[in-house]
């Protein structure tokens, strides 16, 4: 895919004074060689936000926020990486010229561009049909029944997908869009039963789904035939430009309002989101007809401190609120629930009772723990102490998810009071090891900061060697020239060392290191940032050589154990068994030699 050359990223970072950049929105004071201020990414009273001018990075010792100038304006202003780079490049007077990695990447970039163009064009066509064509009368009547006029339809570019496949074919031929491109875009789908293709959206009201750049990347179609035996709402299939677990409907319109209010309202459907926005509640989003995901939670955390869930009041809505809480709470977001009257959704409540009534409902949103206790009282008998204790045990799983110790303490006290059980009993329940299967999230795993899991999974020796390579250019130069990179191939826990080992950057240049980090996967970048913030390890080049020898020994031992396991498998042929035994003996000799060299 298109990328900005690494040397340009280095130039932009080198030309950007991170203290000056951060200082425009954070009041900083000098603290030794660094600068200190209140973190802009979480609420705090004592400053823990550290900015290093020499390294060109910031780090919050309170919430773990970490990065360079690119990450700061991405997280602070909600920009994409490309937008952040171009913003700083413009300020520095540096011309940006994107390049393409290789032929495959170029083809992928062309396909992505073509798919975006198809979506832009078909969204306009669907909209034109909705506004003018007689076939779209059912869609117009439906909108009218939901209180949506033509102005709303225009602002949101709502559309109509015709029942006739022929109309879609004619439109595609006119614009010279191939059948394969329509398949890649998800507008057509293959029928395994009939062996042909069909239009994915037929006789549906169409809601365009947009990315942060406001490009149409997918659709959600609302069924207009009440007797049809198919899903009421249908989303686009996943494509190179669309993943429903990573997109929130309406976020392109609402992200600035969410940042301003530091609060996001989350509802269940597109119409609810749309009508709430039109009613003046601009800090609202909706998920894409799927469970709230960890990625959704991270998106909102970059812009808000609080989320208000506004789901239906039935059992399905309660379960949806619980699932959403489990994703939102570990990020540090404060989660509340606005309880709707039975049988109402946000759209119907606004139309029946007005904007003021709905605003009052939102203002009265309850903390999730209180909401959970109230709903349990309606679903189970909490008169008996045994049942209250059982319910309290269930609630501990959610309390453990809370990121803040203060929030956990408050939740323990409130739940104990609401359930009428001793606070000490609640604390014992919290202290017990979590129960449940592998799919259950615990405080140890779910509340980890970005990169923490990868950082913790590193082999101790590999992690130490990675630290030494980042701290000492001589060590990294020796590693790159050693020709012993095969040690990384089979050794678990050496992923971060491998990134640094193979990275084409000069560790003595902060801008080069920052540019290298900026090109990594976010989890990898966060993990390496944690490595950088560890105390500088003692030792010299000789210690690094000893550490690498220990890694090679560990790798050889692991390969030998793996072969010994294979040898025990039933049904192994005599030839294969003999070959494995020969390999084991060879590794055994290598082990003896390696141990001798480490003495």
Q: What is the pLDDT of residues 169-215, one digit of tens each?
A: 999 999 999 999 999 999 999 887 777 899 999 999 999 999 877 88
* CA–CA distance, 255 with 241 (Å, rounded to integer): 20
- Give the angle 429-432-436 at the CA atoms, nearest 5°: 100
The radius of gyration of the chain from alpha carbons, rounded to an integer in Å, stands at 28
Domain 246-375 CATH assignment equals 3.40.1360.10: yes
Residue found by looking up tokens 């329940």 in the block: 429
- Class in CATH terms, 2-99: alpha beta
The long-range contacts involving 85-89, CB below 8 angstroms and separated by at least 24 positions, are: 85/4, 85/9, 85/12, 88/12, 88/13, 88/15, 88/16, 88/21, 89/8, 89/12
Regarding the domain delimited by 103-242, which CATH topology (the fold level of the hierarchy) does it fall under?
DNA primase DNAg catalytic core, N-terminal domain (3.90.980)
Q: Residue 131 has what pLDDT?
A: 96
Please report, to the nearest 10 degrees, the dihedral formed by the alpha carbons of residues 385, 391, 392, 393 taken in order.
110
Contact between 308 and 337 under an 8 Å Cβ cutoff? The reply is: yes
d(CA 29, CA 9): 28
CATH 3.90.980.10 domain residues, the chain: 103-242
Q: Which long-range contacts (CB under 8 A, 24 or more apart) does 189-195 make?
A: 189/237
The 3-class SS string of 235-294 reads: ECCCECCECHHHCCECHHHHHHHHHHHCEEEEECCHHHHHHHHHCCCCCEEECCCCCCCH
Statement: residue 594 has pLDDT above 90: no
Into which CATH architecture does domain 452-598 fall? Orthogonal Bundle (1.10)
CA distance 484 to 461: 16
Q: Which residues of 305-322 are buried (b: 16+ CB within 10 A; e: fewer)?
A: bbbbbbbbbeeebbebbb
Q: What residue spans in the chain does CATH classification 1.10.860 cover? A: 452-598
Residue 294 in this model has a pLDDT that exceeds 70:
yes
Grade residue 437 by pLDDT with cuts at 50, 70 and 90.
Answer: very low
Considering the chain, tell me which residue range(s) the CATH 3.90.580.10 domain(s) occupy. Answer: 2-99
Domain with CATH 3.40.1360.10 in the chain: 246-375
User: Looking at residue 141, what is its pLDDT?
Assistant: 95
pLDDT of residue 120: 95
pLDDT for the residue numbered 128: 97
Q: How is 342-406 classified by DSSP, letter by letter? A: TT--HHHHHHHH-HHHHHHHHHTPEEHHHHHHHHHHHHS--SSHHHHHHHHHHHHHHHHH-S-HH
The CB-based long-range contact list for 326-329 (8 Å cut-off, 24+ gap) reads: 326/398, 326/401, 326/441, 326/446, 327/292, 327/293, 327/294, 327/296, 327/297, 328/292, 328/297, 328/300, 329/368, 329/398, 329/401, 329/402, 329/403, 329/446
Residues whose CB is less than 8 angstroms from the CB of residue 267 and which lie 6 or more positions away in sequence, other chains included: 273, 276, 284, 285, 286, 310, 311, 345, 346
Q: What is the mean pLDDT of residues 558-570?
A: 67
Q: What percent of the chain has pLDDT over 90?
A: 32
Looking at residue 97, its pLDDT comes to 66
Phi, psi of 263 (to 5 degrees): -145, 140
For residues 428-440, average pLDDT: 61
**CB distance 239 to 184 below 8 Å:** yes
């Amino acid at each position: 895919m298109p990328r900005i050359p690494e040397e340009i990223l280095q130039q932009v970072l080198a030309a950007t004074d991170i203290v000056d950049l951060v200082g425009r929105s954070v009041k900083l004071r000098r603290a030794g060689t660094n600068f200190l201020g209140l973190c802009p990414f979480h609420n705090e009273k004592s400053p823990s936000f550290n900015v290093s001018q020499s390294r060109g990075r910031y780090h919050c010792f309170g919430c773990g926020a970490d990065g360079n100038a690119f990450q700061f304006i991405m997280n602070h202003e909600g920009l994409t990486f490309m937008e952040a780079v171009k913003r700083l490049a413009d300020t520095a007077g540096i011309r940006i010229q994107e390049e393409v990695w290789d032929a495959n990447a170029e083809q992928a970039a062309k396909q992505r561009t073509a798919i975006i163009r198809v979506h832009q064009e078909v969204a306009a066509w669907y909209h034109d049909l909705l506004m003018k064509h007689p076939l779209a009368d059912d869609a117009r009547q439906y909108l009218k029944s939901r209180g949506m006029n033509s102005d709303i339809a225009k602002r949101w570019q709502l559309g109509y997908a015709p029942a006739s496949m022929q109309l879609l074919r004619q439109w595609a031929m006119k614009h010279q869009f191939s059948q394969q491109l329509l398949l890649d875009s998800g507008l057509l789908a293959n029928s395994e039963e009939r062996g042909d293709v069909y239009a994915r959206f037929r006789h549906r009201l169409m809601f365009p789904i947009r990315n942060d750049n406001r490009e149409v990347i997918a659709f959600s179609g609302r069924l207009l035939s009440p007797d049809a035996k198919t899903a009421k709402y249908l989303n686009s299939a996943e494509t190179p430009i669309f993943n429903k677990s990573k997109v929130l409907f309406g976020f392109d319109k609402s992200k600035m309002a969410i940042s301003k209010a530091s609060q996001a309202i989350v509802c269940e459907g597109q119409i609810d989101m749309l009508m709430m926005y039109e009613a003046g509640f601009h800090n609202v989003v909706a998920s894409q007809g799927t469970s709230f995901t960890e990625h959704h939670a991270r998106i909102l955390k970059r812009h808000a401190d609080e989320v208000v869930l506004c789901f239906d009041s039935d059992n399905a809505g309660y379960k949806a609120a619980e699932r959403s809480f489990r994703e939102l709470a570990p990020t540090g977001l404060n989660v509340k629930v606005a309880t709707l009257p039975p049988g109402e959704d946000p759209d119907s409540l606004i139309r029946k009772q007005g904007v003021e009534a709905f605003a009052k409902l939102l203002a009265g949103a309850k903390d999730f723990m209180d909401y959970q206790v109230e709903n349990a009282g309606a679903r189970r008998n909490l008169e008996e102490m045994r049942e209250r204790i059982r319910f309290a045990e269930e609630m501990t799983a959610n309390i453990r998810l809370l990121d803040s110790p203060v929030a956990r303490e408050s939740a323990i006290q409130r739940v104990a009071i609401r359930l009428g059980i001793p606070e000490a009993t609640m604390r014992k329940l919290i202290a017990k090891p979590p129960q449940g299967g592998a799919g259950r999230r615990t405080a140890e795993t779910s509340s980890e900061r970005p990169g923490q899991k990868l950082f913790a999974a590193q082999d101790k020796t590999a992690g130490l060697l990675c630290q030494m390579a980042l701290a000492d250019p001589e060590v990294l130069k020796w590693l790159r020239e050693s020709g012993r990179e095969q040690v990384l191939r089979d050794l678990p826990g050496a992923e971060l060392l491998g990134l640094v080992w193979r990275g084409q950057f000069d560790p003595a240049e902060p801008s080069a290191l920052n540019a290298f980090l900026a090109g990594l996967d976010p989890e990898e970048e966060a993990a390496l940032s944690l490595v950088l913030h560890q105390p500088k390890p003692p030792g010299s080049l000789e210690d690094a050589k000893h550490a690498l020898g220990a890694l090679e020994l560990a790798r050889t031992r692991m390969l030998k154990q793996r072969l010994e396991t294979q040898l025990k498998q039933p049904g192994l042929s005599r030839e294969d068994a003999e070959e494995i035994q020969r390999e084991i003996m060879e590794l055994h000799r290598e082990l003896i030699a390696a141990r001798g060299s480490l003495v």
